[in-house]
Chains A and B, each alone.
Chain A
């Protein structure tokens, strides 16, 4: 149970943060972000400890901070709205969640208790305000990307759609959204269905940096059913500079290549015969050729 003293201290701390953030004295963006994160974590902790009034107070303080990033604003709004639902302050909760949906209309609230009341509240509000939202928790999208990419080399992005029951929504199209380094927005790329719930699209990174990526699955009515990552919490793919592999068109390269091929064939023949002479183990398959 949080005592009145702790609430007092938290309130004062937030007031100091607000005043400092709006003052004219120099403050680095990094320190503002850190203060916002600390305050959000205080609010999340209050929520976890069932101190919903303190959570409301704390998150309102966070939202008053200048320079608050959109991801932080989203998190503050979803906890604020959830706490207000618990406290049965429906109008205020509607306002908080409406502001949250304005940032990301398809965001799934990450409220940790999984409260059906809060889920229902958000779902009803979303149905009023986002006509093409039909999010189904029984549907999952999984985005598969390589660990990194190179400029000039194509990258295949895969999205796997799965349903936990036959009456769950079916995804018929998947769109990949990609934001290039230095770009302000996401560009959409339609994927191709490969069968078995898999969708693919080929990306061609042009610049070194980080690509921000998320995927959106829609049903045959064009409604958004599920996402993998989000615009405010995207997956990141690092793009590195193209590797330098100079080609030397000297006459002796052809000879060396030919020699290598011949030599490799001879080596393979030698290796095969030698492998056959290595006694296998007693468990199938006996011998395992590693890659």
Chain B
């Protein structure tokens, strides 16, 4: 028996080491590349790299605990916003080395919109609905009001009532995990203590790198500017950020009662350049969303004003053109406007909440086709990757408290 045991020990010591070779191919966009790995139900690796590398590799060696498989998530972020990503799982099954190739892409094709919504859980209505990847594992958790929960089974992770209502979700400290920004706090739910901030009631917030470093920008009745500073005094009620011209710096678009204004990102920081916007809409207030509607790789803007949904297509050079054929009239009393790929074709769609009903406008690249959600009752909507497959699903919070996804 002793000899047999010796044989087993020596054989295990001499057996080929099992490893996974991970090859990363990145489009080289964004300002950071986050790589995380999970095995045996826990995070086993996390590192942040500069995003200018277009290829790289890592070797993961089998351990005593992680012996079956390792899941690797890679994401490019621009000022804390995910701009490209990929995820995959490799087995340690065979002796020797397994290879896992991850091609980071701006969009992961999905399966389309389900014909009927799936019930996740019920949370008493109150506040906003957000997708939050608080632990950075590539799968979103959901924040409904003050309740953070797992979309897989609706189990509550935490009650965030002490923080107040979330204004935006973004990785503010560049640790590859989403943080929650409220009127008084930036909260990293995994590691850091909350950071105190002071925003005006009703403020809108985005995180952007307009050439002089990533920071929060806020808009309110007092105007618009970086946190603690001011760029413009006109009141702001809507704010979006994105790299419209592909130079690595974000552009900023702000809208308020006086109309819409734009700033181009430059090495010296944001520089006012209203010419980015079509003249026809500059004088009117609009709700805003930013996403790639025509799938050409450049960000477009969706604007809702005068009860009309308008499409401002990026020419490819960072200037936006109004497409009149894509205007949708009759959108009164809209409570929420979001843009993102819902039907899995990598063309950003638009979802609005109108009179506690969600309406979805599917992009064809040049115009919209209104889709059918079945029972579309909703007070709040968001897009979240609830199943960790890399594609976002539409999630709604109904007036009766049901949280559902399509």
Contact = CB atoms under 8 A, between A and B. Distances in A.
A159 B53 CA distance: 41
B10 A260 contact: no
B9 A255 contact: no
4 smallest A-B Cβ distances: which pairs?
Answer: A112-B126, A267-B13, A263-B9, A281-B57
Interface string A27-51: 0000000000000010011001100
Contacts of A270: 13-14
B401 A278 contact: no
A108 B161 contact: yes
A291 B125 contact: no
Interface in A234-291: 252, 255-256, 259-260, 263-264, 266-271, 274-275, 278-284, 286-291
Interface residues on A, range: 35 or more
A288 B39 CA distance: 12
B39 A283 contact: no
Given A267-B9, A283-B58, A288 B45 contact: yes
Nearest to A252: B2
A275 B18 CA distance: 10
B374 interface: no
A45 B57 contact: no
Interface in B49-75: 49, 53, 55-66, 70
Contacts of B35: 283
A164 B24 CA distance: 39
Given A165-B196, A267-B10, A286 B59 contact: yes
Contacts, number: 135
Contacts of B49: 283-284
B153 to A, nearest CB: 15
Interface residues of B, number: 56
Task: Tell me whether chain B's interface is mostly helix, strand or loop, or mixed.
Answer: mixed
A186 B346 CA distance: 55
Interface string B165-203: 100000000000000000011000000011110000000
Contacts of A286: 58-59
Contact of B125 (A112, A162, A266, A268): A112
A125 B62 CA distance: 60
Contacts of A146: none
B145 interface: yes
B267 interface: no
B162 A140 contact: yes
Contact of B127 (A41, A112, A278): A112
Contacts of B401: 41, 44-45, 48
A114 interface: yes
Contacts of B2: 252, 255-256, 259
Interface of A: 41, 44-45, 48-49, 108, 110, 112-114, 137-140, 162-166, 197, 252, 255-256, 259-260, 263-264, 266-271, 274-275, 278-284, 286-291
B58 A48 contact: no
B189 to A, nearest CB: 10
Contacts of B47: 283-284
A278 B39 contact: no
Contacts of A162: 193-194
A291 B66 contact: yes
Interface in B1-34: 1-2, 5-6, 9-10, 12-14, 16-17, 19, 21-22, 24
Contact of B126 (A48, A108, A264): A48
Nearest to B197: A164
A108 B161 CA distance: 10
B124 A44 contact: yes
B44 interface: yes
Interface in B87-106: 97
B40 interface: yes
B126 A278 contact: no
Given A281-B57, A283-B58, A290-B39, A114 B124 contact: no
Contacts of A164: 184-185, 194-196
B70 A290 contact: yes
A256 B61 CA distance: 28
A110 B61 contact: no
Given A45-B401, A48-B125, A271 B58 contact: no
Contact of B61 (A137, A163, A263, A278): A278
A260 B66 contact: no
A114 B165 contact: yes
A290 B65 contact: yes
Contacts of B70: 290
